[in-house]
Structure 1
Amino acid sequence: MTQTLPDQLAQALINCDQEPIRYPGSIQPHGFLLALDGGTVVQASENLETHVGMPAGAALGQRLTGVLGAAAGEALERELAAHAPRERPSYLGTVNAATGNRFDVLAHQYDALTILEFEAINRKGDADFRHLYPLVGDFLNKLNDADTAESMSDLAAREIRAVTGFGRVMVYRFDGEGHGHVIAESNDGTMPSYLGQRFPASDIPKQARELYALNRIRLISDANYTPAKLVPPVNPRTGQPNDLSFAALRSVSPVHLQYMRNMHTHASMSISLMVKGQLWGLISCHNEAACHIAFDKRTACEQLGQILALRIETREDADELQFRLEVRRLMVGMLAHLTQSSDFIDNMSSVFPELLRFARAGGVAVLVDDRVVCHGETPTVPHIRELVAWLDVHDQNDVFHTDRLPQLYPPAAAFQQCAAGLLAMPISRIHKHYLLWFRPEVVHTIDWAGRPDGKELGPQGQLHPRTSFATWRETIHGTSAPWHSGEIEMALEFRTALLGIALERAEQMAELAEELGRANKELEAFSYSVSHDLRAPLRHIVGFSDLLLESSGSEDVGKRQRFLTNIKESARLCGKLVDDLLSFSQMGRASLRPIRIDMRELVMNCIERMAPDLKGRSIEWNVGPLPLVQADPAFLQLAVYNLLSNAAKFTGQRESARIDISSEDNEHEHVFHIADNGVGFNMEYVHKLFGVFQRLHRMEDFQGTGIGLANVRRIIERHGGTVTARGEPDQGATFTFTIPKQLAV
């Protein structure tokens, strides 16, 4: 099947992108090239004879003195020995060949060879770089008064045209699609103006752009030149074609030369503008007649280009920072309002005006499951639902953005007037929660320097450059103002902040659920206590009251006294249960007031308080060295008192009781141990030990309400510590608790 014209054009463009422009095998003839290997000429351009009177083949194997003459050859050899060439060309000096012709000599090391380039000049002396410093200084001073890329570029175009004498100097920047937009021009009136126009990306193939980024300046002195081939045609060291990426004399693509002729340009120079490591644009110089620019002037122009690129980068960074600060200020203001209500849509609705300013949008919509709330100019709710359904399927990124929604989502053509641009954020991947910004269509025109598809195919599908550069106007529909990179990044940050708020809410809910679960368990324990522990003394009160009533006529005073004593003890136990419950409930609400506490002094105070209740008992208290801690004194004393009284209680059946209080330190906390030789407990039930109203022994054997250890756990955990216990039946128990060295309250 015969390939169609569009297919042929596409293939030809691919071929153009693959053209080996770094390996042309030839140079421009306004100079000649010698390649050295160890000081010996191993390669020469075939126009050597034109410049120095020696055939290229005859120069192979000779030293520079044999090709250029003793004076010139020795001078260059001394320079090469003193200053080893690097990857980029450097100026070695100006020499007179034996024929009397003068040349500026450039040298660089590349592709395993030392490359010497000799550019023919009419100047009598060496290149003079002294004019470079005042030129750069003046240019910097002028740039201080320019505050936009356009105004700075205009200054650069005028300065470079003054240095070079070219008829037209343009500065154009590349857009996101690679098209070049002419933002500044200096023109002597002899050539057409392209200011404000665009050159299609296809004018500069991919490998040419890569070479522009690598080698910052390129000169074509005469578009009608006949290339001078290299002899031999391949690099003798590698056996491959020479890589002439950094050669000033490198021959250029025949397609580009024809492009220049079609443009009525016979000399050109390009200076790359690199901003943040990327090819931002070019300074493109054109002349109607052939024109050679010497190395010193090219160096001056290259320096001006680098300074311009640096100032553009600084200006863009400053503008970017200012833009981001303003967007961040809006974002912070919005986030402050988004915690007012537990309803997400209500929160977002309260900041709709700020959301529009945040994204410079015309409309905004929030979708949460089946609810959709809109503000500003937006598509209809059904259209929004269908759009979100499409996003769910076709986009899995954290933020989706486009300024050409109808091209990606054809149904958007129905509402492109209000939503040609879209910035969309999924707030949840599980549920259909979206925040969407819409930008309206911006109908605009582009003036092209010739039709952007104006390249033509010749015989056998060969690519020919376009022949027309007449202004061609294109009207663009279905696009919005582009989204700024700062807006995209701030949207991502905003999404993260929203997720943070949601996570915080979830954590609060989880904490509340945990607290409710704990409260439910405590409520169950309380119910059990009411039904068991509290009812037991109440039954005693009722029972002994009945007995007292029955014996009211009796003269047995001792019996009535015993009944009243039992009633009093039962009532006291009821009160103690209620007091302990109240204390436990308050423990979770009261604020900590930490101070520096001497733990040994606190322990001794607790032992002294317990002394009246322990009269007649033999207890050996062993209190080791204890540290100072940061804690709430009232709470911590209550915890320690409970643990010490617990130890005293469960050693009550011992003839000689022993209670040891000790401590140790690790990197982050103080660790305390309270050990006794009492009745101990079975570790199988240790999980019940710190629960409310949980007992491992019968109440008849050991009095108590079952709240003391629950209080201990709550106090220690409020301080950020932990409490554990180890025991063995009839072998005693050890309770261990920790207090952090850095208390977070």
Structure 2
Amino acid sequence: MLELKFDLNNCDLEPIHIPGSIQSHGYFIAINQEEFISCCSENIYELSGLQAVDLIGKSLKYLERSLSLQDGNSLISEMVRLTKQVDHLEQLNPSLITIKDKPFNLIITASEALLFLEFEPIVVDGSSLLQSMIGRSVSHMLKDKNLNVLLNNTSIQVRKIIGFDRIMIYRFAPDGHGEVVSESKSENQDSWLGQHFPASDIPQQARSLYKINLTRLIADVEAVSSKILGFPDVKSLDLTHSQLRSVSPIHIQYLKNMGVASSFSISLIFRGELWGLIACHNYTPKFIDYRSRESAKLIGEILSSALEFRQEESDQQIHEIFNNHLVKLSKQLQKNDSLIDALTKHKTNLLNVVHGGGAVFVYEKRFVKLGITPNSAQIESLMKWIQAKSRKSIFHTNNLEAIYPPAKAFRKTASGLLLLVISRELNEYILFFKPEQLETISWAGNPTKQIEVGNNGLTHISPRKSFESWAETVVGKSINWSLEEIQAVSKLKEEIVYSINLKANAIRLMNEKLKEAYEELDTFSYTISHDLKNPVSAIKVFSQLLMRDASLSERGKQISRHIEDGAKKMNLMIDEVLEYSRIGRAETAYSMVDVSVMIERIITEMRIVFHDRFLNITVGNLPAIYGDSAMLMRVFANLIGNAVKYSQHSHSPKVHIEAINDGKSICYQITDNGIGIKPVDLPRIFDLFKRMSNVGQIEGSGVGLAIVKRIMDKHEGKVWAESVMNEGSVFYASFKHSKINQQ
């Protein structure tokens, strides 16, 4: 037996599959491929009359002669040969063999290059009695569809079949700890129904063995195990598939502390994983022979199938509910142009996809909240953490504060988080929340194991001695996210991505059509404007000729002057439209532009047009900009010209020009104290032919600011305005820093 220096983690480290010994109620022999004995249990003397050391290295024939078999000297050899002809050893096991007038079950199992031969006594009439009860018990087990009733019926029927003092159905939680969910017991015993047991009581490597060995018998906790002797080194002999494998001393002490003398378990497998155990305890030693254990295994397999069937029924119902909601959401996504409206503004919305308390849709730099959620500041902080930490497209937890401590502040609202990533690059997510589910867990004794020093001075774990109820209140956790919820959210992502792609394709197609229409309109406006210049010029010339006619009355001359003024105004508008169209068609020639020189030139021209006495123009910092010099000249000429034009009627006209560099952009500001812009006009001042309603007789075409906007768009910049009526306006022209340094 390996000597272990136990610490609190030894339960998960103990090599229970290579104990180097067997339980002493049976006998063990291992043979190699040449049918020679490699090792055997020390108690083989009781069966053969030969010491184990005398059998090691001997042939299988020698063993048969020493056993004086009554059923023929070659029975064991024949069974071994048959193992090479069958697909599953279960077809051979067990074989009835009589040794010294005593019936035994011979169980053959394979382990790497060895065959294990295990001899177990047969309980007379036990198997037939058990098998006769199986049929009746199964019908009683399955008579109700309710899961709790099914489990209760099973525990009652198993107790009737094997006669143990206590039968428990023990279900494992995702973290490995277990709960007694059904129980059948003697009247004088305390109930353990609803009690929880820590994961360390049945550690991970033990749970793995339960998936392989569907039944496990410990016949007598007081019995001394029998060592295995032989070659190779028995310390590495894997007894995973052995029926007689001895028991961990930690587990033996655990059972003794519970007052249990014998235990038997039947594994319950659900979808390939260990769902739980039918755990059977007896308070006196009790042996169950191999055939009886196999019959009991059938009970476990039937219950496992029933569990799967019941769960699949329940899952299917939930799946159909979620799927119906997803179908409605899909239709809403197709009908609504807005993704946010489709998922949040209808009776069927994001909250119908999961059994949650709240949801947040993070899309297009907006937070849209549904149900009960953390506040906006808490969501913003959580989103920063998600953006830094999240790498999965779907992530879920029922204990958010364990990985994100600030969540403790809103645990009542959002202890559970299910995160759906729509686009990590665009920071677009859907967050589903579940509230805290306070839970008081009743443990079967304090689950903490204690370290003790034994009589030999070695440190070891002492399993707890008290199994009296010990309560613990669990905080900060929500109900777990179900597989159906996760699948529904995954399906929702597919629908959203599909909808986004459809809308993107529609927008792309629309943009292509708009581009074609825009180019056609651009060409049309250029052609029409160009062709209009000749007749407008003719109108202007004819009106001037009329005014020179001496016979024309004063009224006629006045009309002619109006015609000439109209022709001039129309000619100005045509020139502006031609310029607007030319800018749209022109290629951009980028270079570094000295804006200070450009603005000085514009101011000089303004002084000539408006006379020095009307101008008070000041300038501040005027940094260079990377752009098209001719186009930028038009931008600043228009903005400065407007500032001067619309402030010239003020008592003391003032215009100030300067730029602010914030490291990301350079923003030019042109400030005046003119007539201002009405709030109703402000959103549309950059539209073509749009003039303010309060300009009066101040000349203008309504095209200048539209030209400015078009030039700024070509430079990937922004232009906007702020204004207060009768106090003045500020026009802003902002250029990206990335466009500033491209020399």
Matched, 1:485 2:487: no
Please list, as runs of the form range in 1=range in 2, the aligned pairs for 1:431-450 lying within 5 A after superposition. Answer: 431-450=426-445
Matched, 1:516 2:514: yes
Asked if 1:456 corresponds to 2:451, the answer is: yes
**CA shift digits 1:58-86 (9 cap, x unpaired):** 33314232221043443333333345477
Residue equivalent to 1:317: 312
Residues 141-150 or 305-314, more deviating: 141-150
The residue matched to 2:175 in structure 1 has which SS?
coil
Instruction: Tell me the distance in 2 between the aligned counterparts of 1:87 and 1:21.
Output: 25
Do residues 58 (structure 1) and 54 (structure 2) align? Answer: yes
Q: 1:247-283, CA deviations, whole angstroms, 9 ceiling, x for partnerless residues?
A: 1111111111111101100100111111111111111
Is residue 141–residue 157 contact of structure 2 (8 Å, CA) maintained in 1?
no
Amino acid at match of 1:505: K
Which residue is equivalent to 1:24? 19
Deviates more, 1:294-303 or 1:50-59: 50-59
Which residue pairs with 1:204 in the alignment?
202
- Whether the aligned pair in 2 keeps the contact of 1:365 and 1:373 (CA below 8 Å) is yes
Distance 2:36 2:459 in 1: 44
Give, in whole Å, the separation in 1 of the partners of 2:144 and 2:193.
Answer: 19
Task: Letter of the 2:232 partner, please give it.
Answer: N
Matches of 2:343 and 2:37 in 1, distance apart? 75
Paired with 2:322 and 2:524, the residues of 1 have a C-alpha distance of 55
Secondary structure, counterpart of 1:207 in structure 2: helix
SS in 1 for 2:303: helix
Separation in structure 2 between the aligned mates of residue 210 and residue 495 of structure 1, nearest angstrom: 35
The residue type equivalent to 2:38 in the other structure is: V
Residues 51 and 101 of structure 1 are in contact (CA less than 8 Å); yes or no, is this contact kept in structure 2? no
What is the aligned length?
520
Partner of 1:109: 110
Residues 206, 411 of structure 1: alpha-carbon distance in 2 compared, 3 angstrom cutoff: same
Measure how far apart 1:28 and its partner are: 0.7
SS at match of 1:359: coil
Secondary structure, aligned partner of 1:12: coil
CA 1:343–1:260 in structure 2 vs 1: closer, same or farther (change >3 Å)? same
Structure 2 partner of 1:361: 356
Partners of 1:352 and 1:364 within 8 A in 2? no
Equivalent residues of 2:262, 2:281 under 8 A apart: yes
Deviates more, 1:285-294 or 1:158-167: 158-167
Q: Which residue of 1 aligns with 2:594?
A: none
Instruction: Summarize deviations over 1:186-240 as a string: whole Å, max 9, x none.
Output: 11235432111111111112211111111111111000111111122x438xx87
Once the two structures are overlaid, the 10-residue window that deviates more, 307-316 or 453-462, is 453-462
The 2-side partners of 1:205 and 1:315 are apart by 28
Higher mean Cα deviation, 38-47 or 17-26? 38-47
TM-score by length of 2: 0.65
Question: After alignment, is 394-403 or 289-298 more displaced?
Answer: 394-403
**Once the 2 structures are TM-superposed, how far is the Cα of residue 129 of structure 1 from its aligned partner?**
5.6
Does the aligned pair in 1 maintain the 2:26–2:119 contact within 8 Å? Answer: yes
Letter in 1 for 2:504: A
Conservation of the 8 A alpha-carbon contact between 1:52 and 1:101: no
Partners of 2:198 and 2:368 lie apart in 1 by 42
Matches within 5 A, 1:659-674: none
Residues 211 and 273 of structure 2 are in contact (CA less than 8 Å); yes or no, is this contact kept in structure 1?
Answer: yes
Residue 23 of structure 1: CA displacement?
A: 1.2
Corresponding position: 1:399 with 2:391? no
Q: 1-side partners of 2:379 and 2:6: how far apart?
A: 41
Q: Following superposition of structure 1 onto structure 2, how do residues 705-716 of structure 1 map, counting pairs within 5 Å?
A: none
Following TM superposition, by how much is the alpha carbon of 1:461 offset from its aligned partner in structure 2, in angstroms? 4.2
| Percent of aligned pairs sharing the same letter | 33
Tell me: CA distance 1:490–1:122, structure 2 relative to 1, closer, same or farther (3 Å): closer
Structural mapping, 1:297-696, within 5 Å: 297-351=292-346, 354-458=349-453, 460-523=458-521
**Matched residues in 2 for 1:373 and 1:389: separation?**
17
Unmatched runs of 5 consecutive residues or more in structure 1: 1-8, 539-745
Residue from 213, 228, 231 that aligns with 1:230: 228
Q: Distance in 2 between matches of 1:12 and 1:342?
A: 63
Structure 2 contact 142–150 (Cα < 8 Å) conserved: no
Tell me the residue number matched to 1:91.
Answer: 93
Q: Structure 1 residues 439 and 512 mapped into 2: Cα distance closer, same or farther (>3 Å)?
A: same
8 A contact 1:221–1:290 mirrored in 2: yes
Instruction: Specify the SS of the correspondent of 2:441.
Output: strand
| Number of the residue aligned with 2:45 | 49
Aligned CA distance change for structure 1 residues 398 and 483 (closer, same or farther; 3 Å): same
Q: Report the alpha carbon displacement of residue 460 of structure 1 after superposing the two structures with TM.
A: 5.0
Aligned match of 2:242 in 234, 247, 253?
247
- Superposed CA offset, 1:611-638 (max 9, x none): xxxxxxxxxxxxxxxxxxxxxxxxxxxx
- SS of alignment partner, residue 288 of structure 2: coil
Q: Judging changes above 3 Å, is the alpha-carbon distance between structure 1 residues 344 and 79 closer, same or farther for their aligned structure 2 residues?
A: closer
Structure 1 residue matching 2:465: 3-state secondary structure: coil
Following the alignment from structure 1 to structure 2, what is the Cα–Cα distance between the partners of residues 34 and 350? 73
- Post-superposition Cα deviations, 1:419-447, rounded to whole Å, max 9, x if no partner, equal 22222323332333332222222211111
For residue 160 of structure 2, the aligned residue among 159, 162, 179 is 162
**Alpha-carbon distance in 1 for matches of 2:235, 2:219:** 28
Question: In structure 2, how many angstroms separate the alpha carbons of the residues matched to 1:503 and 1:447?
Answer: 52
Does the alignment pair 1:295 with 2:290? yes
CA contact (8 A) 1:76 1:92 kept: no
Output the CA distance in 2 between the equivalents of 1:373 and 1:247: 60
Distance 1:10 1:249, change over 3 A: closer
| Cα distance in 2, alignment partners of residues 149 and 172 from structure 1 | 14
The 1:235–1:67 alpha-carbon spacing in structure 2 relative to 1, beyond 3 Å, is farther
Aligned position for 2:77: 77
In 2: Cα distance, 1:527 partner to 1:371 partner: 40
Distance 2:452 2:363 in 1: 55
Contact 1:191–1:288, Cα closer than 8 Å, also in 2: no
Is the 1:323–1:486 contact (alpha carbons within 8 Å) kept by the matching residues of 2?
yes
Letter in 1 for 2:183: E
- Post-superposition CA distance 1:545-588 (Å, at most 9, x none): xxxxxxxxxxxxxxxxxxxxxxxxxxxxxxxxxxxxxxxxxxxx
Q: Which amino acid aligns with 2:388?
A: V
SS in structure 1 of the partner of residue 74 of structure 2: helix
CA change 1:92–1:426 in 2 (3 A) is: closer
Equivalence for 1:702: none
The structural deviation recorded for 1:474 is: 0.7
Distance 1:313 1:10, change over 3 A: farther
Asked if the contact 1:362–1:378 (Cα under 8 Å) also holds between the matched residues in 2, the reply is yes
State how far apart, in whole Å, the 1-side matches of 2:26 and 2:363 are: 72
**Aligned counterparts, 1:111-126, within 5 A:** 111-121=112-122, 123=124
Match of 1:706 in 2: none
> Residue 54 of structure 2 aligns to which amino acid in structure 1?
A
Matches of residues 706-745 of structure 1 in structure 2 within 5 Å? none
Distance 1:514 1:10, change over 3 A: farther
Give the direction of change, closer, same or farther, for the CA distance of 1:225–1:11 in structure 2 (3 Å limit): closer
Tell me what 2:269 maps to.
274
From the superposition, tell whether residues 416 and 119 of structure 1 become closer, same or farther in structure 2 (CA, over 3 Å): same
CA distance in 1, matches of 2:123, 2:490: 61
1:146 matched to which residue of 2? Answer: 144
Distance 1:432 1:244 in 2: 54
- Distance in 2, matches of 1:284 and 1:109, equals 27
Q: CA deviation at 1:473?
A: 0.8
**Counterpart amino acid of 2:303?**
L
Aligned-partner Cα distance in 1 for 2:349–2:522: 50
CA distance in 2, matches of 1:218, 1:179: 19
CA 1:165–1:81: 2 relative to 1, 3 Å: same
1:311 CA displacement: 1.3
- Could you tell me how far apart the structure 2 residues matched to 1:348 and 1:48 are? 73
